[in-house]
Amino acid sequence: MKSDSQRGMITLEACISVLTFILLMLFFSSFFVLFMVQNMTAHAILQTSQSLSLDVYRTEQLIKEDDGKVGSVSDYFTQFVTKLFGSAEDSPYFVSDNYWHKLKEPKRGEEQVVDESEKTEVADAVKLRFIGYFASGDEEEADYLLEYMNVVDGLDGLDFSESYVENDTLYIVLRYELTYDFDIWGVSNLSVEQKACSKLWKSK
């Protein structure tokens, strides 16, 4: 027959074991959420880079000023593409008429340097397209999903400011911070940086 001290020891060991198990489950739960959001954002920026790379061909080859001449085959093709994918006014999160990819031509003998204004144009275009692929162009839904998945400040917490265009290639850099669902040990926020690149579609 077990003594009171033995029964007390067994109870204490059981409590410690159960508590440890619960803490581990909470940790793994937080880890899976972090893993999920990183995969979702990585997929979105990859789709964004591929989509934006086509903007160059659209703006430079398909969008032309109306010169009053009889429409050519390319004009009719442009109309077909617009009807198929929509215009920038109808779908600003998936179609853009802005020349965000245009860089200032460097002087002879100088290297091409991307200034801050050009980075801002690229970042704005990237963020809009990201919202399109992440939440079908619904900013409120994107903000809700990001906050639900512990992204600090939700949509406003996404930083695309380091994205740029160089050597006819679009480089997307996304930075944000994640919090843990159950920060039992007082761990600081997790800083995340994701990158994607895509060659711009140019005719020349």
* pLDDT tens for each residue of 59-78: 766 655 444 443 454 555 55
Q: What confidence score (pLDDT) does residue 2 get? A: 53
Considering the domain boundaries, does residue 20 fall inside one? no
Q: What confidence score (pLDDT) does residue 172 get? A: 94
Instruction: State the Rg of the chain over Cα.
Output: 25
Task: Give me the DSSP letters along 47-96.
Answer: HHHHHHHTHHHIIIII-----SPPP-HHHHHHHHHHHHH--TTT-TTT--
Considering the domain boundaries, does residue 26 fall inside one? no
Considering the domain boundaries, does residue 9 fall inside one? no
Domain that holds residue 130: 35-199
Q: How far apart are CA 143 and CA 57, in angstroms?
A: 31
Query: What is the tally of structural domains in the chain?
Result: 1
Q: Give the tens place of pLDDT for each residue, 168-197.
A: 889 999 999 998 776 666 667 889 999 999
| The pair of three-digit structure tokens given for residue 68, joined into one six-digit string | 């009053």
Considering the domain boundaries, does residue 5 fall inside one? no
Please report which confidence band the pLDDT of residue 102 belongs to, taking 50, 70 and 90 as the band edges. confident
Considering the domain boundaries, does residue 76 fall inside one? yes
Q: What confidence score (pLDDT) does residue 131 get? A: 93
Considering the domain boundaries, does residue 10 fall inside one? no
Considering the domain boundaries, does residue 3 fall inside one? no
Q: Give the tens place of pLDDT for each residue, 116-140.
A: 666 788 889 899 999 999 998 899 9
Cβ 159 vs Cβ 174: under 8 Å: yes
Considering the domain boundaries, does residue 7 fall inside one? no
Q: What confidence score (pLDDT) does residue 166 get? A: 85
The residues near 59 (Cβ < 8 Å, ≥ 6 apart) are 96, 97, 98, 99, 101
Tell whether the model's pLDDT for residue 156 goes beyond 60: yes
